[in-house]
Amino acid sequence: MRVLGLDPGLRVTGWGMIEVAGNRLSYLGDGVVRSDETRSLAERLAQLHQGVLAVIAAWTPGEAAVEETFVNKNPESTLKLGQARGAVLLAPALAGLPVAEYSPARVKQSVVGSGRAAKEQVGMMVRTLLPGCQAAADAADALAVAICHAHHRTTAMRVGMGR
């Protein structure tokens, strides 16, 4: 089963693709979808949505997992991140993929063993768990979401791909 992990952001949305076969995880690919900061918010959201649809078309995952929004102190930033997350969530849903959502703490707990792990620790563990992976920060975070889903997918399937 191919699993697409997504780490939404308005400027950069990371994506990571893994293959799950029982307890075995294999790295397939990763990257980012960028939006043009000179464009309107609506155009940027469309860029993110279309970019994720292109990843889905190229890699044909069977399931997707998305990191939940981290609430910032700045309400405007939180709102924009939520809108980006909506555009990103919509792509796999429209492609007919089951979509699971995981909190940042649950992703860190699943990959590192601590819900308060630093970003660098997450990246290091992703590269350890997925030999051949050299993902940069945003893509490594997306791969961590995919790994988290691989660990929790049976339970997520039982509860309808919820949290």
141 is known as an active-site residue: no
> Residues 26, 138, 56, CA angle at the centre, nearest 5°?
60
Q: Which residue has the tokens 């990843």?
A: 55
How many alpha carbons lie under 13 Å from residue 82 in its C-beta half-sphere?
8
CA 117 to each of CA 104, 113, 122, 125, 146: distance values in angstroms, whole numbers, following the listed order: 10, 8, 7, 11, 17
30 is known as an active-site residue: no
Contact 101, 7 (CB under 8 A): no
DSSP 98-123: -EEEE-HHHHHHHHTS-TT--HHHHH
67 is known as an active-site residue: yes
As given in the structure block, the two tokens for residue 119 are 């970003």
Catalytic residue among 30, 63, 101, 138: 138
Contact 98, 104 (CB under 8 A): no
Catalytic residue among 7, 30, 101, 141: 7
Catalytic residue among 30, 67, 101, 141: 67
Residue numbers annotated as active site: 7, 67, 138
